[in-house]
Amino acid sequence: MLLLGITLVVVIALAVSFGATPVSWSALFGDDASARAILLRIRIPRVLVGALVGATLAVAGLTFQTLLRNPLADPFILGVSGGAAAGAAISTAFGLARFPGVVPALAFLGACAATASVFLLARRRDHTDPTRLLLSGLVLNAFFSAVILICFSLSRQSDLTAALRWMMGTLFGATWSEVVLVGVFLFVAMGVLVWLANDLRMIAFGEEDARSHGVDVERVKLIGFIAASLITGAAVAVSGIIGFVGLLVPQLIRMVWRRDFRFLLPLTAVGGAILVVLADLVSRAVIPAAELPIGAFTALLGVPFFLSVLRRSR
Amino acid sequence: MLSVREAGYSYGGALGIAAVTFEAQPGELIALTGSNGSGKSTFLKLAARVLSPTSGDVFFENRSLRDWRPKEYARNVAYLPQEPDTTFAMRAIDVVVSGRAPYLTRFGWEGSSDYAAAAEALEMCDAGHLSDRFLDEMSGGERKRIFLARALVRRPQLVLLDEPLASLDLAHVQHFSTLMRQVVERTRATVIFAAHDLNWAAAYSDRVLVMKNGALAADLNPSELMQPDRIRELFDVEAATVMVNGKSWLVPL
C-alpha cells in the first residue's frame, strides 16, 4: 500500500511538470504568471481528474467483479459505459454537443439508464442472477452500439470529431469543477463501499454462503451495483470512455495481493489512479503537441504488465 | 432446538420440499439421505435461513427463523454449502477466519482471538499444515476440509453440512466422521449432514432421515434403516446387509 502510494505521488509529480511547455513545480511559488496559470488551470486539474477517474473506474470494476463473482466483469461488459456512450452519441446527433455540459449530462443519464435496464432484465422475482446480469449487459451493449452507429451517421462532420475524441477517452481541457464532481462521487461511493466492505467480502464466497453468515445479500447487491454504476457514469461523463482500467487493475491487484475485498478496495483505487495518470503522461509524451487517445495507452501500458504478472503467478 | 413444522419450499412452481415436519434435540448427530433431487439441500437451506419456507415455518430455540436477526442466527447456526465458491482463491487461514464474520461489527476486523480460533479449527479438521496455502493449490478434498473448519470456527450450536463427505478420501471420511462425533460430544451441538453413502450415513449417525420426492419418507435409527425391506421400499434397490463389528453394512445385489 505504502509502495503504491509513493508511486502515485511520483507519477502525479512527473505528470504535472511534463507537457508541451515544461513547467516545474517551483513555478507555483515563482513570479512567472503564465507558468503558474499553466500549472493551476491546466496541468494540475488534468492530472487530478485522471487520478480520480482511474481510481473510480478501477473501484467500479472491483465491485462488479466481487458482486458477480466473475473476474471478467467490468463497467464495459455490463453495458454501463455503453449506455454513457450512447447518451453522448445522441446529444451529438441532435447537434447539442456544442453546448457545454450537455454531453456529460446525457452520458451520465445513459449510464444510469443502462444500469437500471441491466438490473431489471436480470431480476427474477426477488433475486438477481449474476449470469443473467452479465448476459443482459452483453445484449444491451449490442443495442447501444447500434444506437451509436445510427447517431454518428446522422451527425454533422464538425460535431463528429469531438464526439469521436470523447469516445476514445480524453482528459484534455479538464477543469477544477470536474475534479470536484468526480471527487465527490468517488468519495461518497468509497464511503458506501467501506460501509458494505464486510458484506461484500462474504458475497465473494457465494450468495447462499453469505446469507448463511447473516448478510442481506439482495440489499448489498442493489446498493453496490448502484454505487459502482453512478461513479462509472460520473467518470465517463468527464473523461469519455477509458477502457481496460476497470477490468485490468482489480485483476492485477488480486494477482499480487490475494486478499479479501477490504484489502483490495484501497489498493485498487490507488492502482487505477496510477495507471490512468501514467497513460495520460505517455499519451502526451509520445508525439509532442498531438494528443493520442488515452484509452489506447491504458491498454498498451496495462496489457504487457498484466501478461508478465499472469506468467509469474500460478 | 430445531423444529420444522409443515415446512415447504417451491422453486417458482417446481417443488423443492413439501410439508416436512421434524424435530432435532441438542447433541444429536443426524444423517440426511435420499436420492438426487429428493430435497436434501433444500431442507438444509431452509434450516440455515438461506431460503425462507413458502409454506409452514421453521423454529430454532422456539423462535421462528423470521424473528431471528440474521447475524444473531448465523452465530448459532453454521451451514456448509455443497460447493462453496472459490472464484477468488485466498489463503486457507483467511478463508477460515471469514467464518467469524457474524461476530464482527460493521467496520470491525478479525482480532488475534479470531485467528487463534481459525488455527484451532484447521487443526481439528486435520488441515493445520494447509494454513498458508491458497485454495487453488489444493485438491477438492483439502478444500472441503478448509470449508469444514470455516463452518466450525463459529462454534455453532447447530451445524448443517451439505455433502461434507463427498470428494474426501477414505481416511478423511473416517477422520471426519469421528470429528463430527467429537463436536457433538464436546459442545452438545447438533449436527445434520447430507450424505449419499448409506453405509457411512448409518455408521456415523444416531438418526437417519430419508427424503423422497420432497417429502420426509423416514426418520429412523440406523439399525432400523439397514434392513433389506426398508431399503427396497425407500430406495428401490435390492440389497443385503452384513454385520461387521456390531454394525450393519449394506451390500447392493
Please enumerate in sequence order all residues whose Cβ is within 8 A of that of B171, keeping only pairs 6 or more positions apart, or say none: none
Interface test mutation site (partner A, options B44, B85, B91, max chain A beta carbons within 10 A): B85
Interface predicted TM-score of the whole assembly (ipTM), two decimals: 0.91
pLDDT digits (tens, 9 = 90+) for A27-55: 777 778 888 888 888 889 999 999 999 99
Interface test mutation site (partner A, options B80, B98, B132, B143, max chain A beta carbons within 10 A): B98
Domain boundaries, chain B: 2-252
From first to last of the 253 residues of chain B, give the pLDDT tens digit. Answer: 999 999 999 987 778 898 899 999 999 999 999 988 899 999 999 999 999 999 999 999 999 999 999 999 999 999 999 888 888 889 999 999 999 999 999 899 999 999 999 999 999 888 999 999 999 899 888 898 899 999 999 999 999 999 988 878 888 888 888 888 988 988 889 999 999 888 888 888 999 999 999 999 999 999 888 888 998 888 888 888 888 887 888 888 8
Report the alpha-carbon distance of residue B52 to residue B45 in Å, rounded: 8
- pLDDT for the residue numbered A310: 75
Considering only the beta carbons, identify the residue of A69, A194, A202 that sits closest to B87.
A69
- pLDDT for the residue numbered A180: 92
DSSP conformation letters of chain A: -HHHHHHHHHHHHHHHH-SSS---GGGGTSS-HHHHHIIIIIIHHHHHHHHHHHHHHHHHHHHHHHHHT-TT--TTTTTHHHHHHHHHHHHHHTT-TTSTTHHHHHHHHHHHHHHHHHHHHHEETTEE-HHHHHHHHHHHHHHHHHHHHHHHHHS-HHHHHHHHHHHH---TT--HHHHHHHHHHHHHHHHHHHHHHHHHHHHTT-HHHHHHTT--HHHHHHHHHHHHHHHHHHHHHHH----SHHHHHHHHHHHH----HHHHHHHHHHHHHHHHHHHHHHHHHSSTT----HHHHHHHHHHHHHHHHHHH--
Q: Per the domain annotation, does A31 fall within a domain? A: no
Total domains in the fold of chain A: 1
User: Do B84 and A209 make contact, defined as CB atoms within 8 angstroms?
Assistant: yes
User: Do B101 and A194 make contact, defined as CB atoms within 8 angstroms?
Assistant: no
User: Do B81 and A208 make contact, defined as CB atoms within 8 angstroms?
Assistant: yes
pLDDT digits (tens, 9 = 90+) for A105-116: 888 899 889 988
- How crowded is residue A13: how many other Cβ atoms within 10 Å of its Cβ? 12
Write the CA distances from B148 to A231, B82, B127, integer angstroms: 38, 11, 10
Taking CA–CA distances from A126, the nearest residue in chain B reads: B12
CATH number at residue A131: 1.10.3470.10
Average pLDDT over residues A71-75: 82
- pLDDT for the residue numbered A126: 64
Q: Per the domain annotation, does A273 fall within a domain? A: no
Interface test mutation site (partner A, options B90, B93, B110, B154, max chain A beta carbons within 10 A): B90
- pLDDT for the residue numbered B218: 92
- How crowded is residue B183: how many other Cβ atoms within 10 Å of its Cβ? 19
Considering only the beta carbons, identify the residue of B45, B48, B81 that sits closest to A206.
B81
- pLDDT for the residue numbered B203: 87
pLDDT at A12 over 90: no
Considering only the beta carbons, identify the residue of B70, B98, B134 that sits closest to A214.
B70
Q: Which CATH class is domain B2-252?
A: alpha beta
Taking CA–CA distances from A197, the nearest residue in chain B reads: B107
- pLDDT for the residue numbered A314: 53
User: Do A258 and B90 make contact, defined as CB atoms within 8 angstroms?
Assistant: yes
- pLDDT for the residue numbered A85: 85
The CA distance from A72 to the nearest CA of chain B, in Å, is: 11
What pTM value is reported for the model? 0.91
User: Do A214 and B50 make contact, defined as CB atoms within 8 angstroms?
Assistant: no
User: Do B102 and A194 make contact, defined as CB atoms within 8 angstroms?
Assistant: no
- pLDDT for the residue numbered A220: 95
Taking CA–CA distances from A196, the nearest residue in chain B reads: B106
Q: Per the domain annotation, does A208 fall within a domain? A: yes
User: Do A259 and B99 make contact, defined as CB atoms within 8 angstroms?
Assistant: no
- pLDDT for the residue numbered A299: 81
User: Do B90 and A211 make contact, defined as CB atoms within 8 angstroms?
Assistant: no
Do you know the residue count of chain B? 253
pLDDT digits (tens, 9 = 90+) for B149-191: 999 999 999 999 999 888 788 888 888 888 889 889 888 899 9
pLDDT at A15 over 80: yes
The CA distance from B111 to the nearest CA of chain A, in Å, is: 14
User: Do B49 and A212 make contact, defined as CB atoms within 8 angstroms?
Assistant: yes
Please enumerate in sequence order all residues whose Cβ is within 8 A of that of A312, keeping only pairs 6 or more positions apart, or say none: none
pLDDT at A230 over 80: yes
Within an 8 Å CB–CB cutoff, is residue B52 touching chain A? Answer: no
The x, y and z cell numbers of residue A9, run together, are 505521488
pLDDT digits (tens, 9 = 90+) for B216-225: 999 999 988 8
Taking CA–CA distances from B48, the nearest residue in chain A reads: A212
Do you know the residue count of chain A? 314
Report the alpha-carbon distance of residue A185 to residue A229 in Å, rounded: 11
Within an 8 Å CB–CB cutoff, is residue B85 touching chain A? Answer: yes
pLDDT digits (tens, 9 = 90+) for A144-189: 999 988 988 888 887 788 777 777 888 888 889 889 999 999 999 9
- pLDDT for the residue numbered B187: 84
**Residue A275's beta-bridge partner residues?**
none
Percent of chain A scored above 70 by pLDDT?
A: 98
Q: What residue numbers bound the domain in which A206 lies?
A: 65-241
User: Do A211 and B107 make contact, defined as CB atoms within 8 angstroms?
Assistant: no
- pLDDT for the residue numbered A125: 65
Residues of B in contact with A194 (CB under 8 A): 107
Report the alpha-carbon distance of residue B13 to residue B173 in Å, rounded: 37
User: Do A260 and B98 make contact, defined as CB atoms within 8 angstroms?
Assistant: yes
